Amino acid sequence: MNLILYLLFFCMGMVCGSFFTLAVYRIPLHQDITHTRSYCPNCNHKLSFWDMIPIFSYLFLGGKCRYCKTPIRIRYLLLEVLSGIVFVLFAISIKLNIYNISMQIIPYTVMGLLYISTLFIIAGIDKERIKVEKPLLLFGFICVAVYVIYLCIMRNVNMYRYVIYFLIACILLLMDTMYLRKKTKSNYTIDILLLSILMVLFTFEEVYFYTVIVTIVAVSIQLIIKKLTMKKNKCVKVENKEVTKIPIAFYMCIANILTMLVTNMYFLG
């Protein structure tokens, strides 16, 4: 029976992974992500139901658009598979099985999946554009706020810790708004701080500490690889400063998801 439950989570993850690819593409372009049907970005042909079945559509179509035969980037397939795996690992990490489903574990399960989904989309956009979309952060804070209210009402959790972090987030949003008026663009540093507060609110300080360590290691490895690559290509001059930017939010999101899964397995084991 548990196998059926985990298979259901994998299917949910695949469907969400398909949505993540759509959101990562459309949100930076300020396009609708809920009502407008999916379409091929090359020929703009609207996709049918059979073109949008996670994983299987990619395999059956040979990784190409059915209509214009343009190759579809394999990252879409990988993200769908990875999302399914992460959803299953989350269910396993909180020891969710067919026999212990209750009103106590369901809220955390739903909130956890929403939180992971938010981080997936933030990571995808930051990987391509070195940018954290503010609406995604706000969505994350709203979800956490709803969950905190539930904890305070149903489980009598002390809310002072949460209030302090939410106040800090409000101050940072105000600072970002003032910076936006002067520079006409968001401050990436403030966005990273807001993302950090979101992580602390849901996964607590210890998990965030591990997240920072993993992020530092990952960023260091990327910088080392870049330096080694530049030494091998001494004749190539780097004139554009954009190539030196590191997608910090991308590494933070991936690190936070991994550390959350590991710590769940450790503390809930």
pLDDT (0 to 100) of residue 238: 47
* Overall average pLDDT of the 74-87 stretch: 92
All structural domains of the chain with their residue ranges: 1-101, 103-269
Q: Are 134 and 186 in contact (CB under 8 A)?
A: yes
pLDDT (0 to 100) of residue 71: 86
Check whether 145 has a pLDDT greater than 80: yes
Span of 130-134, 214-218, 227-231 with lowest mean pLDDT: 227-231
Is residue 242 very low, low, confident or very high in pLDDT (cuts 50, 70, 90)?
A: very low
Tokens of 45: 């042909």
Check whether 7 has a pLDDT greater than 70: yes
pLDDT (0 to 100) of residue 213: 97
Q: Any residues with CB less than 8 A from the CB of 57 and at least 6 apart, and which?
A: 50, 51
Check whether 266 has a pLDDT greater than 90: no
Check whether 240 has a pLDDT greater than 60: no
Is residue 184 very low, low, confident or very high in pLDDT (cuts 50, 70, 90)?
A: low
Is residue 241 very low, low, confident or very high in pLDDT (cuts 50, 70, 90)?
A: very low
Greater confidence, 47 or 240?
47
Percent share of the chain, pLDDT over 90: 55
Check whether 196 has a pLDDT greater than 50: yes
* Overall average pLDDT of the 178-207 stretch: 88
Check whether 187 has a pLDDT greater than 50: yes
DSSP string, the chain: -HHHHHHHHHHHHHHHHHHHHHHHHHGGGT--SSSSPPB-TTT-PBP-GGG-STTHHHHHTTTB-TTT-PBPPTHHHHHHHHHHHHHHHHHHHTT--TTS--TTHHHHHHHHHHHHHHHHHHHHHHHHHS---HHHHHHHHHHHHHHHHHHHHHS----HHHHHHHHHHHHHHHHHHHHHHHHSS--HHHHHHHHHHHHHHHHHHHHHHHHHHHHHHHHHHHHHHHHHHHHHTTT-----GGGG---HHHHHHHHHHHHHHHHHHHH--
pLDDT (0 to 100) of residue 239: 47
Greater confidence, 125 or 230?
125
pLDDT (0 to 100) of residue 180: 73
Check whether 236 has a pLDDT greater than 60: no
pLDDT (0 to 100) of residue 60: 86
Check whether 228 has a pLDDT greater than 70: yes
> Mean of the per-residue pLDDT values for the chain?
88
Q: How far apart are CA 204 and CA 31, in angstroms?
A: 33
| Sign of the dihedral defined by the CA atoms of residues 3, 5, 6, 12, in that order | positive
This prediction has a pTM of: 0.89
pLDDT (0 to 100) of residue 56: 83
